[in-house]
Amino acid sequence: MKQKNISNPQASVLPTLSQQYVRDTEAFIQSNSSYLMDEAFCASSLVDNINVNLSLQNAVRDNKQALLKDIPIVSVVMLMAVRGDVALIAGGDKSLSNRKKALTTEQRSNLPIGIYQEDGDNEGVWEITNQPLGVFGNLLTRYKPNATIREKREAFALIKTMLPIREKCVVPYYVPVNNGIMDVLNKKLLSFSPDLVFTAKIHTNLNFAATNPVIQIPGKGTWDVDSWLNSLGSPSFVFSIKEVIQAACLPLAPRNKMAIFYSENGCSGKGTICQTIRNILGEESTISIPINEFSSRFALANLPNALAIVTDENDVNSFSKGMGVLKSVITSDVCSIERKGYDSYSYRFNGLVLQCVNDKIRSDDKSFSFLRRLHVIPFEHSFAKDGNENKLIKEYFIHRTDVLEYILKMVLVDMAYRDSFTETAETKAALQGFISATNNVVAFLDEVLAEAQWDLLPATDLLYESYKQYAKKVSPSGNLIGRNDFIASIKEYVDTKTRENPNFEWEWTDSTRTDNYIDFSVHEPLVENYPVEPFNRVMYQATHGYACVDTDKVKDKYSGLKRRKAASPSQGTNN
């Protein structure tokens, strides 16, 4: 093989320019570990070091390299990657066993970057970004003030291959407040630490000495927090409100429920409670996403910096399609975050979803998977109607520091730690109203089972065929669910009813003999109201004394709803 003509053998073993940058930066990091947070010192000193080495190499190079006037981007990235306050942020290990995630290169590149804030308004928080501008770009310009957008993009892509991974805190009873990290279970305030990873915090101080503030109103007496809350409704209602406020302040507690403030009346107080929650958490730690916008492409863009989603207004007449994203957010499943103009990334939101509505929610989700995620609190009082509306509450009182600190202490210190909502008689009744309005299968079953005379109601051949007639009657232009979804809804209906009442009369059966459970000589209102062959013909013949009742097209066995303990011991159940 023909040999290359090398005029200067010494120059042939010299590193490339980029290799030299990397070597010099690695050496600088090792010898200056105590100064890595001083961006200006690192940038100027490293440039000097690199230039010294370039000058030495130029003495033996054929092609002389120009000395640096500014720090190279690769060096900036390497310096940022070892600071300790820049990392990739991943979801935490919910087993609380410090089990580390095994991530592929592609999965790492999909994680957002977090930058820990040692001071300022966001002290103690890892600010999340997945774009080269903003908090990431701001840090980069401390090393290189004249960095171009192109250089920032280059740095952002490169640094993801170097950064360590920090996992978010998943301790359910920890919450960052403005002056530390509150251990709600043990009622202790801990110091901020980069080892406890939070991406947002409550911007109100936790004051253990806070007391119920009594505010003088010229010419109108006084106002205080306790009296105000108690005026909203019954003791159980007030406790439900306090639970929601606590839920907003404890984003890691796994309630897996969306709170719904429901009222058909104005001036019910629900908007004031929502604003109170925003004020406690801080406007920057809450976002508003109406129910029908969750499936929009960029709707979740600001989710990583939020502790709670609080929405005052919803257009319930707008059909809410694609409830999958909303359900994922409610139950802290992984969802996709996308900001316009930037790549999407996976994120797991932990926090309360609170929505205010003036009517039942209309949705294309006919399954119970959405409905069982609702915790509906009815606001039945109207302060405008009884002349007790006090506009000072929303406009002034709930913005006061002493009011916010007292409410925060009330829910984090005075109340016991909770990770679920209490189901009161009011919330159960309100949820049932939502279920009946949202899922017409429930309304149908509520109607027919209350009057049913037969002990077996076949699912496909009778109930589903009757349901189609019922649905067309009550909502001619409405959507009709398919047979499989209908049967799934029946099973979910029975499960829900049985959990609420262990003595619920009906159960699901995969196969039960017709002769044991259907007496065609008994009038069945379901068949009379919604005629379905062959049941209406056989019932008519049997109840009108036909000598020969034609049951040829009636199956020997059916799956469907069976009345519990209806058969005699000799008859059995599924035989």
pLDDT of 1 strictly over 70: no
pLDDT per residue as tens digits for the range 532-551 = 999 989 998 888 888 777 78
Task: Say whether 478 sits in a helix, a strand or coil.
Answer: coil
Angle between helices 440-451 and 465-474 (to 10 degrees): 110
User: Mean of the pLDDT values across residues 422-443?
Assistant: 86
Amino acid code (one letter) for 230: N
pTM to 2 decimal places: 0.80
Residue 572 banded pLDDT, cuts 50, 70, 90: very low
**For position 474, what pLDDT does the model report?**
82
pLDDT score for 570: 37
Q: For residues 413 and 250, what is the distance between their CA atoms, to the nearest angstrom?
A: 12
**Mean pLDDT within 313-323:** 68
Do 423 and 471 form a contact (C-beta atoms < 8 A)? no
What integer best gives the mean pLDDT of the chain? 88
Q: What is the pLDDT of residues 101-113, one digit of tens each?
A: 777 888 888 888 9
Q: What is the reported pLDDT for 155?
A: 95
Which pairs with CB-CB distance under 8 Å and at least 24 residues apart come from 384-389?
A: 384/265, 384/266, 384/267, 385/265, 385/267, 388/231, 389/267
Mean pLDDT of 480-490: 89
Nearest CA-CA partner of 308 in 244, 212, 215: 244
3-state helix, strand, coil in the chain (%, to 5): 40, 15, 45
The answer to whether residue 195 scores a pLDDT higher than 90 is: yes
pLDDT of 385 reads: 63
Q: Tens of pLDDT along 401-418?
A: 999 999 999 999 999 999
Of the segments 168-182, 323-337, 355-369, 531-545, which one has the largest average pLDDT value?
A: 168-182
> pLDDT tens digits, residue range 264-304?
877 788 999 999 999 999 998 999 999 888 888 888 988 88
Pick the more confident residue, 369 or 295: 295
Lowest mean pLDDT among 160-174, 443-457, 534-548: 534-548
- Judged against a pLDDT cut of 50, whether residue 447 lies above it is answered with yes
Between 369 and 515, the higher pLDDT residue: 515
Q: What is the CA radius of gyration of the chain?
A: 33
Per-residue confidence band for 179, with pLDDT thresholds at 50, 70 and 90: very high
Q: How far apart are CA 116 and CA 85, in angstroms?
A: 5
Residue 384: band (very low, low, confident or very high) from pLDDT cuts 50, 70, 90: low
| 421 phi and psi angles, rounded to 5 deg | -90, 145
What is the DSSP annotation of 112-168? PEEEE-SSSTTTT-EEEESSSSHHHHHHHHHH-TT--HHHHHHHHHHHTTT--EEEB
Q: What is the pLDDT of residue 416?
A: 95
Q: Specify the higher pLDDT residue, 474 or 357.
A: 357
Task: Output the CA torsion sign for 420, 423, 427, 431.
Answer: positive
Instruction: Provide the pLDDT for residue 173.
Output: 96
Reported as a pLDDT band with limits 50, 70 and 90, residue 96 is low
pLDDT for 316 equals 65
The pLDDT assigned to 11 comes to: 47
Of the candidates 125, 105, 128, 175, which has an alpha carbon nearest to the alpha carbon of residue 337? 128
C-alpha dist (Å) from residue 38 to 26, 45, 122, 193, 295: 16, 11, 20, 20, 44
